[in-house]
Amino acid sequence: MENLLIEGSAKTPTVNFNSEAGVIELKGRSIPENSVEFYQPLNEWIELYAKSPKLETVVEIKLEYFNTSSSKCILDLFKKLESMNNSSTQVKVNWYFEEDDEDMEEAGEDYQAIIGLPFNMIEVDEI
């Protein structure tokens, strides 16, 4: 299957979904007004990937910040990943946040509380 590559913009994150590597990455910021529209192709790609995933799938979330409209879409994305976990692939989430950025750290913990996937919280100097 084809990889999904979307260049980031002032309101949307860089998307790098790589099926051969089993790596799903979101990087930058996610503040579009209509996030449902933006996230739809991402969800579709994951549905397709779920049919023949790698043994291990790594989800790399490197977001500076996101709006609440995106937060629901990101949750939907995690739910899709959660449902393919264990059956055909082992899904791991690496959640990055900048040093001292409690808001993004908490945002990761919010998802961790809702989603049954292993989260690895990673503090970095700069995203």
Partner 1 sequence: MLRYLIPIVYICEYLLSDMSISNVYQLFKTLEKDSILLSFKGLVTAELLSSILHIMESKLTHLQEDSKLKKKVFNVLVECLQNLYHHIDVHEDDIKEDIELLDKKSAVFMIARFGGSFYVRTGNYVENKDATKLMRRLDKINSLDKEELRLYYQEILGNGGRSGKGTAGLGMIDIARKSGNKLEYEFVQVTEDIKFFCLNVKID
Burial level of 17, CB count in 10 A (0-12/13-18/19+)?
A: buried
122 sits near partner 1 (criterion: CB under 8 A): no
Site map 46..75 versus partner 1, x via CB under 8 A: ------------------xx-xxx-xxx-x
Instruction: Work out which of 24, 26, 31, 91 binds partner 1, going by CB under 8 A.
Output: 31
SS (H, E, C) the chain: CCCEEECCCCCCCEEEEECCCCEEEEEEEECCCCHHHHHHHHHHHHHHHCCCCCCEEEEEEEEEEECHHHHHHHHHHHHHHHHHECCCEEEEEEEEEECCCHHHHHHHHHHHHHCCCCEEEEEECCC
- 100 binds partner 1, rule: CB under 8 A: yes
Count of residues interacting with partner 1 (CB under 8 A): 24
Stretch that binds partner 1, among 17-25, 49-57, 84-92, 110-118 (CB under 8 A): 110-118
Which part of the chain contacts partner 1 (CB under 8 A), choosing from 14-22, 45-53, 85-93, 96-104?
Answer: 96-104
Residues that bind partner 1 (CB under 8 A): 10-11, 31, 33-36, 64-65, 67-69, 71-73, 75, 100-103, 106, 110, 113-114
